[in-house]
Amino acid sequence: MEKIEMTQPEPIPKQSTSEDEEYPAEHLFKENEPLLDLEGQHEEKQELAHRATEPAVSRTKTFVFLATYFIMNLSLTFYNKAVMGSFPFPWILTAVHTGSAALGSLVFLMFGHFHLTRLTTREHLVHFMFSLLFTLNIAMSNLSLAMVSVPFHQIMRATCPLFTILIYRLVFSRRYAIITYLSIVPVMLGVGLATFGDYYFTALGFTLTLIGVVLAAIKTVVTNRLMTGRLRLPALELLLRMGPLAAVQSLLYSVLIGEFSEFLDFVKAGHLTAERILAVSGNGLLAFGLNVASFETNKLAGALTLTICANLKQCLTIVLGAFLWDVPVSPMNGAGILLALVGGAWTLAAGIVAFATLIFLWTALRLGSLDAIRGATAQDALTSSLKESRLHLLIVATSSGLDLCRLLLSASILSYPTPVLIDWAGEGAFNAAETHLAKIAGPLRYLENLTSIQDNDIVLLLDGFDITFQLSPDVLLKRYFEETATANERLIAKYGKSHVRKHNMHNSILFGPDKTCFPEDIQRLACWVVPQSPLQPDAFGPYTDGWGDMLHARPRWLNSGTIIGPAAEMRDMFRATQEKIDKTYDPEYVLRNSDQKYFADVWGDQEYSRILSHDDVPYGIPQEVQEAGLPVLEEGQKTEYHIGLDYRSSLFQTAAGYRNYIAWMMTNRSSLPSTSTSVEPYRIDLQEDVLQSKKPFAAISDDAALQKTSWRNVSLGFNTVTGQAFPLLHFTGDKSFRNTWWPRMWYFEDAERLQRASAQIQDQQIGSDLINGVSWTKNIPYDETERKVEEKSGAWSDQGEALPWEALLAGYPTPTLINWGAKFDDKTLVAGGSHLAKISGVLEYLRTLGPERNDDLLLLVDGYDIWFQLRPSALVSRFHAINNEASTRIQQTMGSKAAAAEGITQNIIFSAQKRCWPWKPEDPPCYAVPQSSLPNDIYGPETDTDIGFEKNPYVKFRQRYLNSGDAMGRVGAMKALFERAMEKAEKDRNFGSDQKIFSEIFGDQEFQREVMRQRHRNVFQKMGDWLTGRNSILNPQSERHLREHKGGKPDEFGIGLDYASLLGHPTVFAEEDSAWVTYDDPKSIAQASAELKIAPARVHDLAQDVTDSQPPFRPAVIAPGSSFSEDKTWREVPLYTNMWTSVVPGLIHHNAHRDGLKSLRVSVWDRMWYFNHSRKLFESNAAGPVGPVAVVHDDDGKEQAWWSPIAEKGGAKSDKGEWLPWHELCQEFEGEVFRDA
């Protein structure tokens, strides 16, 4: 192989030998043309004399470096993806790359291939700044990518040639040939089409992306000038000087963001094996070769050419992905790739373009043949002999709830079959609380009751509390047959047609896709042996599958919330799953009741068996599995259950990991909303199967204009990676999006009208045409002849009970009165002993609850100064939301390692007040507790300062300290807390108040959390604390009362505070914060804001959890003589609102006492929204059915129905179990309470 010599030019004479002499910047970057001017600079003005002085460089040499650059760049891209899967440390890998560049260059220096140039101090500084530019460019790209969509990031990076031209024009006065300017347009446009997707960005994301593009252009230009300017440094010398600095900077950044600490844990766990070291080393070696090729290409062909090469590399990545992984390339993507290559032909050498074009054409031909196979979808064997079949809709739901009603509403509007609710309010074998994994047992019972005639029916099984339909069932069925056909083509391509037939391999059951394996266990077959995702390798951008995070991962794993398949095969698969449970169920395993675990394990066995049947070796065997040995399947074990995934979300769109890739748009106009008018509008075309389905408002017969509305004229949710509108949306991950995105559903504004119209339609046909050669109808699970028309939009229980819509739409649990009838007259104790009795009385009640009630929720409120304002569903959902946010804060403040190791969670929430009382600032309840989570300017620039208001010095302070007037928590955690509180109370029976004890326990807890945090900090983290000036509360200070540093966590009770007063609002020290306002009356908001001197007004929209709760005047049963306005919404009633935070609290705690403010309990009682109808609302509730008081989702996103432990209604029970009806409790005060006499 011919050796390419890299010669060092003769040193340029200097005026002085002093290294400290400074040279002007223009001398450092003195203008010199590229050695082979492929860019056409100064096209007709280059001087012959100047050309004569340039070293002779052959065109062949330039072509060699261009080709080497392309090959190495593409190779490293795919190599990085492979390495990052098992070595998820991007900044350490960057340090390896730059360090390898330095080491490789040093080797060449040692062998005399170049000599070091003597540099001045200023020139050394230039090299340092160059290394910083190199690192900053990477950091800016990574930061911006988290704030914009991948397609937007790619199209912005495609503008790098434009900025390169601008830099040359403005800084070096360089002009280019007209053909060069023109060539940039098709290249940029081509890259835009090739990477077409959801152009989403935030303002900050746009700014950072733009800065990153400019930095990339500057880096490329500076690289060129350092090698072709006055210094004329060889590429190897530039790498030698820059590499160590960039490596150190990358490592420092890795330390600052915590990646280095994770890497040390990775090493300690023994994961840094010899194979991984070898793989990373090879990656570094390839990176060194790429850097040399990149620098030399820059030097020979010019900076502009290199930036255009980078654009073409994006296109070639897509092409190679299509060639290697059979990922589909749309006509638009293909046209974009071809356009970019044609544009590049004007700038690059013809040989390179021909090479790239050849790959493109070869791949296009190959894809064309595959598309022909896919396009000629033959009738599926499953339904080849059928003329008619049915679609069954099964929904797993034990009780009613808001999100179940949304699912049923969407199913009714879109004409899905009447659903069967699995495990609905059942007993014994039908009760999910009494059987393991009733989600599996319940559907299996249903499937086993079907006849053989129904074996080829399609069954759709859904979770009941986090799914919403968007498109009609005919679209879903068409997509099902298309996706299974495509999956079976992949099987044939992988194993061969004869092998597939021999082993009866086909995919006919589709599960929803997940971007992570749950439950995560690398040794489970379901986590590593299952097929790679068929989506293109850069579907989620250049770091697809590389960062180890959900956002950039392709969907590869099974999600059991959505399942569809033929009844017979579903029955077999459910039986196999039940058998898997029977064999492997471990009562000690935390996730033992995860149905997803067992479904995925059955799938993992299937895929493993498929590989072994072909005498293949599984790919990507984890180290732990290699050490333990590959699993052995039982002899004769059946493993083929025809399971596959809906990888492209053609049927089932999961939300987790897709938040940035879901867009809502109409397809009749420019699409994605943008804050920038400079973004070119584009369209995502609506699929033909949607356009062919019945028009969205076809059921509404009394509005001709609305009835004719096309699917193009309604806003639909799209997966911007695949470009498809999805039939249903599964809210995996962050459950708050169920409320955020519900108003985006196309039918939201006309939902009630559509539901009533759809209920009148008796047509059982699904779609107007045959689907896969079969006529499809809705399954009728039970005899519907006796049901009224208006009831047919409801559901059936799996026990055959008809559930009309109204029965599915379901106040607070009946209270238990603690210390009822007790007298507190002990003159030796503060308040006669009532505070002590509050602790002892609650503890006695808690002790009566067995361990099976530890996960129940307990709401504890003072009895004489608290009013409820919102429904219990709001309080329960807020309880979970506050705890989730607290978990994030705990991990941030303690460190994720310490929080996880110590098992720190929040299970109890007290309300928060502005003053630390009754403790002093030097006590832990005051100094050790966390800062408020409210914004530090919530009360304006004077927040947390004493503004001299004598009546309330704390008026501008944020809520930070514990108030014990109301608390909410898990029963088990409350038991432990009250046991400790009782211990403290018995040591000092005249302690003053329960608040003193609870705030002391909270202060001690927070002090010990800091002890735990310090215990888990490594040297780098402690150095980071020192650098950032973070002081520990453990540091001795003369005025502070410190606590003993304890081992373990004896003072941990999982206590947190409700800083935003979402649950309850103590009015003490916050008397000037709130007012009653009606949200539909802007004048009331403006007036209240003005009276409290809040400008501009902060209250605008009512919180989603309030608007989504059951309307104010719509009880399940209406008492005789009632005159409720059932359609009145929460926006139309007066609500007590914190005008600074815009929070409507769940309850109001009237503990403000200055200036006789306790009298507000009487004077403003008539301002509560329910006051004018309080008697009839009370009677209606008392007469209503016994049912859940709230149906919400817990901390893990699981649906839970919350029931009162007391079945009686219309009164209360004492803590001794005595029933106290309303007339006995409050007859004396009835006139004042109702004021309707």
Residue with structure tokens 């959900």? 550
The pLDDT value recorded for residue 175 is: 76
Query: Does the pLDDT at position 981 exceed 60?
Result: yes
Q: What is the mean pLDDT of the chain?
A: 79
The CB-side HSE value for 639 (13 A sphere, CA atoms) comes to 21
The pLDDT value recorded for residue 214 is: 86
CB 96 within 8 A of CB 287: yes
What are the DSSP E strand ranges found in 474-550?
Answer: 509-514
The pLDDT value recorded for residue 1010 is: 93
CA distance 440 to 422: 10
Using alpha carbons only, give the angle 1093, 1095, 1100 rounded to the nearest 5 degrees. 110
DSSP classification of residue 654:
E
CA distance 738 to 729: 10
Question: Helix/strand/coil (H, E, C) string of 1098-1153?
Answer: CCCCCCHHHHCCCCCCCCCCCCCCCCCCCCCCHHHCEEEEECCCCECCCEEECCCC
Burial (CB count <10 Å: 0-12, 13-18, 19+), residue 881: middle
Q: Pick from 1048, 1024, 1022, 1047: which is nearest to 1035 by CA?
A: 1022
Of 97-106, 317-326, 615-624, 789-798, give the range with the top mean pLDDT.
97-106
Using alpha carbons only, give the angle 7, 11, 15 rounded to the nearest 5 degrees. 165
What is the pLDDT confidence band of residue 642, given thresholds at 50, 70 and 90?
Answer: very high
Residue with structure tokens 């999956």? 487
638-647, 702-711, 976-985, 1092-1101: range with lowest mean pLDDT: 702-711
Residue with structure tokens 């944020």? 958
Helix 203-228 and helix 160-172: axis angle, to 10°? 60
Q: What is the pTM of this model?
A: 0.44
Please provide the DSSP assignment of 575-617 as one string: HHHHHHHHHH--TTSTTTT-HHHHHHHHHHHHHHHHHHHTTPP
pLDDT: which is higher, 342 or 884: 884
The number of beta carbons lying within 10 Å of the beta carbon of residue 161 is 28
What is the pLDDT confidence band of residue 67, given thresholds at 50, 70 and 90?
Answer: confident
Q: Residues in the chain, how many?
A: 1237
Query: Does the pLDDT at position 13 exceed 90?
Result: no
Strand order in the sheet with 1064-1066: 866-868, 1147-1149, 1064-1066
DSSP classification of residue 452:
G
CB 19 within 8 A of CB 119: yes
pLDDT: which is higher, 245 or 1215: 245
Q: Pick from 776, 808, 69: which is nearest to 458 by CA?
A: 776
Of 242-246, 335-339, 889-893, give the range with the top mean pLDDT.
889-893
Of 55-59, 61-65, 191-195, give the range with the top mean pLDDT.
61-65
Q: Pick from 1056, 1060, 1082: which is nearest to 1070 by CA?
A: 1060
The pLDDT value recorded for residue 45 is: 41
CA distance 1 to 3: 6
DSSP classification of residue 937:
T
3-12, 56-65, 133-142: range with lowest mean pLDDT: 3-12
183-192, 211-220, 477-486, 743-752: range with lowest mean pLDDT: 183-192
**Hey, is 78 helix, strand or coil?**
helix
CA distance 730 to 770: 28
Phi, psi of 715 (to 5 degrees): -80, 125
The pLDDT value recorded for residue 685 is: 83
DSSP classification of residue 1158:
G
Strand order in the sheet with 662-665: 662-665, 716-719, 724-725
Query: Which two three-digit tokens encode residue 756?
Result: 């009533």
Of 169-173, 387-391, 815-819, 1096-1100, give the range with the top mean pLDDT.
1096-1100
Query: Does the pLDDT at position 677 exceed 70?
Result: no
541-555, 961-975, 1022-1036: range with lowest mean pLDDT: 1022-1036
CA distance 283 to 34: 30
Q: Pick from 386, 439, 400, 393: which is nearest to 415 by CA?
A: 393
Residue with structure tokens 């070091």? 116
The pLDDT value recorded for residue 330 is: 63
* Residues 6 or more apart whose Cβ sits within 8 Å of residue 269: none
What is the pLDDT confidence band of residue 702, given thresholds at 50, 70 and 90?
Answer: confident
Query: Does the pLDDT at position 364 exceed 60?
Result: no
pLDDT: which is higher, 991 or 926: 926
CA distance 884 to 228: 56
The pLDDT value recorded for residue 219 is: 81
pLDDT: which is higher, 594 or 370: 594
Query: Does the pLDDT at position 114 exceed 60?
Result: yes
pLDDT: which is higher, 255 or 508: 508
The pLDDT value recorded for residue 25 is: 38
179-193, 549-563, 567-581: range with lowest mean pLDDT: 179-193
Q: Taking residues 538-549, what's their average pLDDT? A: 81
The pLDDT value recorded for residue 9 is: 38
CA distance 898 to 1016: 6
The pLDDT value recorded for residue 1197 is: 60
| Domain layout of the chain by residue ranges | 27-43+56-370, 868-1064
The pLDDT value recorded for residue 32 is: 45
Query: Does the pLDDT at position 849 exceed 90?
Result: no
The pLDDT value recorded for residue 780 is: 81
CB 329 within 8 A of CB 272: no
Phi, psi of 511 (to 5 degrees): -100, 160
* Residues 6 or more apart whose Cβ sits within 8 Å of residue 1029: none
Of 13-17, 889-893, 998-1002, give the range with the top mean pLDDT.
998-1002
The pLDDT value recorded for residue 15 is: 36
Of 301-310, 356-365, 699-708, 824-833, give the range with the top mean pLDDT.
699-708
The pLDDT value recorded for residue 528 is: 92
Query: Does the pLDDT at position 832 exceed 70?
Result: no
CB 417 within 8 A of CB 526: no
Query: Does the pLDDT at position 558 exceed 80?
Result: yes
The pLDDT value recorded for residue 280 is: 87
pLDDT in tens, 984-1040: 988 876 666 889 999 999 999 999 999 999 898 887 777 777 766 677 888 877 688
CB 1126 within 8 A of CB 1111: yes
Helix (H) or strand (E) run with residue 847 in it: helix 834-847
The pLDDT value recorded for residue 345 is: 57
The pLDDT value recorded for residue 527 is: 93
Task: Provide the pairing of β-strand 420-422 with 795-797.
Answer: parallel
Of 232-246, 291-305, 698-712, 998-1012, give the range with the top mean pLDDT.
998-1012
The pLDDT value recorded for residue 93 is: 84
CA distance 289 to 683: 41
Q: Taking residues 906-930, what's their average pLDDT? A: 95
pLDDT: which is higher, 446 or 62: 446
The pLDDT value recorded for residue 223 is: 78
Cis peptide before 519, with omega less than 30 degrees from 0? yes
CA distance 265 to 760: 63
CA distance 608 to 615: 11
**Hey, is 449 helix, strand or coil?**
coil
Question: Helix/strand/coil (H, E, C) string of 430-441?
Answer: HCCCCCCCHHHH
Sign of the C-alpha dihedral computed for residues 1198, 1204, 1209 and 1212 taken in this order: negative
What is the pLDDT confidence band of residue 1203, given thresholds at 50, 70 and 90?
Answer: confident
Q: Taking residues 1188-1193, what's their average pLDDT? A: 72
Query: Does the pLDDT at position 640 exceed 90?
Result: yes
pLDDT in tens, 301-324: 777 777 777 766 666 666 665 555
Query: Does the pLDDT at position 505 exceed 80?
Result: yes
Cα of first residue to Cα of last residue in the chain, in angstroms, is 106
Task: Provide the pairing of β-strand 961-970 with 857-861.
Answer: antiparallel
CA distance 314 to 245: 28
Q: Pick from 861, 858, 834: which is nearest to 846 by CA?
A: 858
CA distance 1099 to 1144: 10
pLDDT in tens, 421-433: 888 765 444 444 3
Q: Taking residues 142-169, what's their average pLDDT? A: 72
The pLDDT value recorded for residue 11 is: 39
The pLDDT value recorded for residue 1145 is: 96
What is the pLDDT confidence band of residue 1192, given thresholds at 50, 70 and 90?
Answer: confident
Q: Taking residues 210-226, what's their average pLDDT? A: 82
Q: Taking residues 1070-1077, what's their average pLDDT? A: 94
Q: Pick from 235, 238, 236, 290: which is nearest to 130 by CA?
A: 238
Query: Does the pLDDT at position 777 exceed 60?
Result: yes
What is the pLDDT confidence band of residue 117, given thresholds at 50, 70 and 90?
Answer: confident
Helix (H) or strand (E) run with residue 662 in it: strand 662-665
235-239, 384-388, 542-546, 826-830: range with lowest mean pLDDT: 384-388
CA distance 189 to 465: 44
480-494, 731-745, 1070-1084: range with lowest mean pLDDT: 731-745
